[in-house]
Amino acid sequence: MYGNSAIDVELRSQTLEFGPWVGWLSIAAVAFGLALGMGARHRPLLLALTMTAALANVAGGLIPWREWLQLRRGQLLVDLWSGALIVFVALLVVGGGPSFALLLFVAIPFIAVVQSGWRRFFWLGASVGACTTSAVIVRLPAGATVMRLALVAAAVFAALAVTRTLSRTASRAELERALAREADHRMKNSLQTAADLLLLGRPDGQAAAAARLGSIATVHRLLSESASELDAQSLLTAIAASASTRVTVDAAPIVLGPSTAQKLVIVANELITNAVRHGAPPVHVRLDADDRARLRVEDAGELLTGAGLGLELVRQTVDYGLQGTFELRKLPGGGTRAEVIFPIGPACAS
């Protein structure tokens, strides 16, 4: 890979992709100035420069900077763009007068942001040299030249300060994501190890516990992949896939916040485990929603009296976590249905 860090490449590529839009505004400003008679004595030269800049701007907008900045040819094109931009503005000043020097306030900060390392200092030095040379040619007073250079320097420092702040913010966010991925990796490994140890003896109780740990590990992965909303169907499918018996899932398109999703995972995991362990196939899971969500887990087994620890966990989670209701009953045609009803916000169902 050629260049600096991935975050630096991302910021520079976004600036380069935005550059053509700034270029069109600058070209429009030059055209407007020519229409008002600025640089009338060199109008053919200025028109030719403007047309050339427009063609170069079109070409720059077609370059895939995000990919090319990681290659040597991408950096060479950035150098070419920087040099052409300096020459363009300098020729405008020489041919059209000092009024066109205002474009330096756009061109030089842009060059400072898209360049990096020693190239940034090189091209900023070249910019200062071009400004000084053009000021001498047009006989701009020394005081006016120094003032322009000081203001341009201030604009450059401001642009670099904003870029540095964005880079630090992006670096911090990337570090947090890396730590979250590492924590997720460790959690899944620990759960999988515990499941493997439980399966060594293979009694029914240990196998059920191993299945629960496996489903928790799978669901933990889904929870860690989303920071805001989670798809209820994906969660239920992940739990059903860990069951020892085939479990079908029919879920409405519902998105849930992380807190609600975690509680739904606990409830659904226990109900599916209970249906597989104490009921009979087929086992079917259904989730509907209108103003409230309705989760049903059905199997063909007989209704068992009494509540084990798993069903007690479901009842506590539904009552105090989801603020909903839980009911376990026998179906008229045979079989058992566990039903959980809980409120959801208007943005949860789609």
All structural domains of the chain, each given as residue ranges with its CATH number in brackets, are 6-173 (no CATH), 201-343 (3.30.565.10)
3-class DSSP assignment, residue 48: helix
User: 52: which 2 tokens?
Assistant: 């050339």
Please give the chain's pLDDT, 350 residues, in tens: 344 466 777 788 888 888 888 888 888 888 888 888 776 677 888 888 889 988 988 888 888 888 888 888 888 999 999 999 999 888 888 888 888 888 888 888 889 888 888 999 999 999 888 888 888 888 888 887 788 888 888 888 888 888 888 777 776 666 556 555 655 655 565 566 555 555 555 455 555 566 556 656 666 666 666 656 678 888 888 888 877 789 999 998 888 887 788 788 888 888 988 888 888 889 999 999 888 899 999 998 887 665 566 788 788 888 888 889 999 888 888 889 999 999 876 444 44
Distance (Å, whole) CA 51 – CA 94: 17
Question: What's the CA dihedral at 19, 20, 21, 23 to 10 degrees?
Answer: 90
Task: Output the six-digit token pair for 78.
Answer: 């950035």
Contact yes or no for 167/121 (Cβ under 8 A): no
Beta-carbon count within 10 A of 48 CB: 13
Report the 10 Å Cβ neighbour count for 216.
Answer: 21
Q: What is the pTM of this model?
A: 0.51
Going by C-alpha positions, the residue among 205, 220, 202 that lies closest to residue 309 is 205
CA–CA separation, 217 and 238 (whole Å): 10
